[in-house]
Structure 1
Amino acid sequence: MSAVYLLLLLIPLVSAQTYHWGPCPVPKVQPNFNLQQYLGRWYEIEKLPASFERGKCIEANYAVRKDGTIQVRNTQFYKQKTRVAEGTAVILDPREPAQLGVSFSYFTPYSPYWILTTDYTSVSVVYSCTDILRIFHIDFAWILGRSRFIPLGTVEYAKELLIKEGIDICRMRPTDQTGCKDN
């Protein structure tokens, strides 16, 4: 009975997210992932809804710090201001370097950040899932590009990959990348 109460308390928190019943899917990740080639700027092309990303001109920049962790610097233009969120990513298991963990607070555990595929030069497909007591899970998925706009065929390829891996993308939406200032 306490699990039901917990679910009722959590539902408002995940209303701006994409959630499904059951545990997280376990998609395949990029084989032979090369972090050095992945570093740099990526622009958000499409995503599943995320309460922390409501603006436009969303981009992420990855760089290795002196301590070996990865600086994650996300920016977006929201409510007439540029908003920046800085976090830390780590490779949790050297045998699976495409399965990163990311945190934007010292007080939160690392969340999955799995690179399902990337060619390093034009597109990346990223997936994250949080399992809540194996009763339901919260999905995040991103299609990223090295430029603000990528070919429609590339976007379709990325969506087909997500579907093939058992990820529901019916709520996936494009990110507005128009009128953005490049730094």
Structure 2
Amino acid sequence: MAKEPFVVDLFFGEYFGGHTGEMERPEEYPERVKPEIRPMGTKGSEIYSRPKAFPHPLDEEENIEEYRTDAGFRVMVLRPTKDIPEFPEEKFKRTIGYQMNEDLEEKIAGLQEEIDGLEKEKGTAEKKADDLREEREEWEKKEAAKSSSSSGIECDDCGSTNPKSRWKDNDGYCPSCSDVALEDAI
């Protein structure tokens, strides 16, 4: 089990290695720290080189996160933010952490657009469903009126209802207006 946490540098990837446990406090920013790290060597025999203080003063709560795995391995992540002193925004935008977050923000924006489109489609579909329900209710009322008036046939032109026998007595036309034929009304 490692005694010191492994540092993951999400600034520019130059400070991957073991944290010594020391935190330098810069005189000009006493509320911030610069963790001391033993950067990994490039040769197998040089696992760690001499410790170096991280070059930027970090806020312990905003810029440094420590995790522990189930196996007891500790990882310290150094995250860039815009509010680091003497760290210009153009430099911040070139960091690994910013680029990772920017990709996530683009994905989130894309998903939000997709959600908005689906909500619009849902609204259109709900309106269409309401229109169809109203149309069906009107049709059912008309059908109910036709079947309930079994004692008579309704004229589509004048709206009067007369028994079939009266239609036949009027030569197959509406007994009230004589404009609609019996075949057309049924």
Q: State whether TM-score is above 0.5.
A: no
- TM (norm. structure 2) is 0.28
- TM (norm. structure 1) is 0.29
Higher relative contact order structure (alpha carbons within 8 Å, sequence separation ≥ 6): 1
Q: Which has the larger radius of gyration?
A: 2
Task: Indicate the structure with greater helix content.
Answer: 2
Task: Indicate the structure with greater strand content.
Answer: 1
